[in-house]
Chains A and B, each alone.
Chain A
Amino acid sequence: MSELRELYQEIILEHNKTPRNFGKIETANRTQEGYNPLCGDHLHVHLYVNGDQIEEISFEGSGCAISKASASLMTAAIKGAPVAEALELFEHFHQMLTAEVDEPVDDERLGKMAIFAGVREFPMRVKCATLAWHTMKAAVLDGQDPVSTE
């Protein structure tokens, strides 16, 4: 049960219940679809990128608490951030989730996203946590095809 508490922390449950930046943004100039065919998590990430800056970001779709909270926290973390910073955070986040369970977590670099470290105990759920991030990355890099976690 302690591992479960670690996974379903208050912040995650709260973001699942009231996700930030949920919905469409009218000014979006990038939209990317992300899909996890194994479990059916499905979302769209909308971005307004101005020069090197992510000025606006939102997401919409359906998925589990982990995928939704991860998307919500991601949008909060990178709204207003330079593109390079968002991509860097993606790398740190991705590294954390794919590292061994006992690997120390670099809180300083990850900020709030560090609370997803508990997901490592549940390998089947790692893709839930990373879906929004992969989708954001593809949107920033202006991918055309829907992103799949497979």
Chain B
Amino acid sequence: MTALVERPAMDPSHSIDVEKIRRDFPVLNEKIRDKKLAYFDNGATTQKPLTVIYAVQRFYTTENANIHRGVHFLSQQATFAYERARGRIGQFLNARDNSEIVFVRGTTEAINLVAHSYGRPNVGEGDEIIISHIEHHSNIVPWQMLCEEKGAKLKVVPINEAGEFLFDEYEKLLSERTKIVAVTHASNALGTILPIKEITALAHKHGAVTVVDGAQGVPHLPVDMQDLDCDFYAFSGHKLFGPTGVGVLYGKKQLLDAMPPWEGGGSMIQRVSFEGTTYADPPTRFEAGTPNIAGGIGLEAAIDYVNSVGREAIAAYETELYDYAVEAIGEVPGLRLIGTAREKVAVLSFVLGDIHPHDIGTILDAEGVAVRAGHHCAQPTMQFYQVPATVRASLAFYNTRGEIDTLVKALHKVNEVFQ
């Protein structure tokens, strides 16, 4: 079976000074039940560097006003700052045009927006939507709802035991009936990276568009929209060291241009009369109401932070830390890693004997170790492995080998309690 992902070549000399980085994240100094915090729940949300915290604080302290409204000074400042943030996100994603960057609340809203504004006009009875077996519920349910409404069919690309996307099977599912291919860039439950560029190229051959759930991809992987050539890409700011409540939908200009609005209200109009309303151009068309202005500005600060550390350096560091972690937790008796794809982001999903992940999570917490225990909003993935839940340690570039050692020690303690 083919796994078509290639990671960009990494220069190991591009290492990062992790102790220096940790000083930028105040929460990492917190004590949890008198223990030093070891935060491994980055897949759920990442911690925020001071630059992000200060950017939000600065906005509310000195710049706060509504955008695209007043002619007064602060409103202009706020509008400028918000649009500058959009521009920075556009650069970060290598979009062709800033109008391709739509601010949303998060990945979930972005996918729902596409299902609504692209899906409804373009998917009809008998059409097909393809997803993968390892999607987050937020990249399953909106498509199920759309299929139900339109009488379309949802097709699921299977995975192998390692948790890898079966490209050959995907190819077989594609047909002229396929209208949308919605896949994750990296699985939140397993860490598997999907070959977005190849998936997209093949989808385009069949006249389908691709929608990529980038929630777990953006923090770890190169996100060059022109290179990937996907049609839509969604991510959340808070998983990229930014604030909660802000996210991004990237959409190709010609697609967004043709799409009807998502929500109606202020900002998204050109002209309103009781006889009818004409809508604004993208991205404004999809941004009804006052947005999360401080969130957008905070997200810009997060992107600046990530760029200052260096995307390649981060990827190299995380890969090295992940390899160390896999070897270290391999020593824990009874531990089984779930998801062993060749190409993974730094996510360790595992079970330990027949001890339930929630019990593991509680005992780890008593040691100051924060992990996620549960089904990770990916129940079909859990069903594939026939486990009700897993423990997930998802790494970020501020994690250290010392913290991995703490995790391993705590896992031994779990075995002790449940011997």
Interface residues in chain A, defined as those with a beta carbon under 8 Å from any beta carbon in chain B: 1, 3-4, 7-8, 13, 38-42, 62-66, 68, 122, 124-125, 128
Contact = CB atoms under 8 A, between A and B. Distances in A.
Contact of A8 (B379, B382, B389, B417): B417
Contacts of A39: 358, 373-375, 389
Contact of B418 (A3, A13, A38): A13
Instruction: Place the interface of chain B in its size category.
Output: 10 to 19
B374 A122 contact: no
A41 B359 CA distance: 12
A126 to B, nearest CB: 12
B306 interface: no
Contact of B359 (A1, A3, A8): A8
Given A7-B362, A64-B356, A65-B359, A42 B388 contact: yes
- Looking at A3, A65, A66, the one whose CB has the most chain B CB atoms below 10 A away is A65
A128 B358 CA distance: 9
Given A64-B359, A65-B359, A125-B358, A40 B417 contact: no
Given A8-B418, A40-B379, A41-B358, 20 more contacts: A4-B366, A4-B417, A8-B359, A8-B363, A8-B417, A13-B418, A39-B374, A39-B389, A40-B382, A40-B389, A41-B388, A63-B356, A63-B388, A64-B358, A64-B359, A65-B356, A65-B359, A66-B358, A122-B362, A125-B358
The 9 A-B pairs at the shortest CB distance, nearest first, are namely: A64-B356, A64-B358, A40-B375, A62-B388, A65-B359, A40-B388, A40-B389, A4-B366, A64-B359
Given A64-B356, A64-B358, A40 B374 contact: yes
A8 B373 CA distance: 18
Nearest to A5: B417
A62 B355 CA distance: 11
Nearest to A61: B388
Contacts of A42: 388
Highest count of chain A CB atoms <10 Å: which of B358, B362, B363, B373 = B358
Interface in B369-419: 373-375, 379, 382, 388-389, 417-418
A38 B377 CA distance: 9
20 contacts: A1-B366, A3-B366, A4-B366, A7-B362, A8-B417, A13-B417, A39-B358, A39-B374, A39-B375, A39-B389, A40-B374, A40-B382, A41-B388, A62-B388, A63-B388, A64-B356, A64-B359, A65-B355, A65-B356, A128-B358
B385 to A, nearest CB: 13
B388 A38 contact: no
B362 A4 contact: yes
A13 B355 CA distance: 11
Nearest to B358: A64
Most buried by A among B357, B373, B375, B417: B417
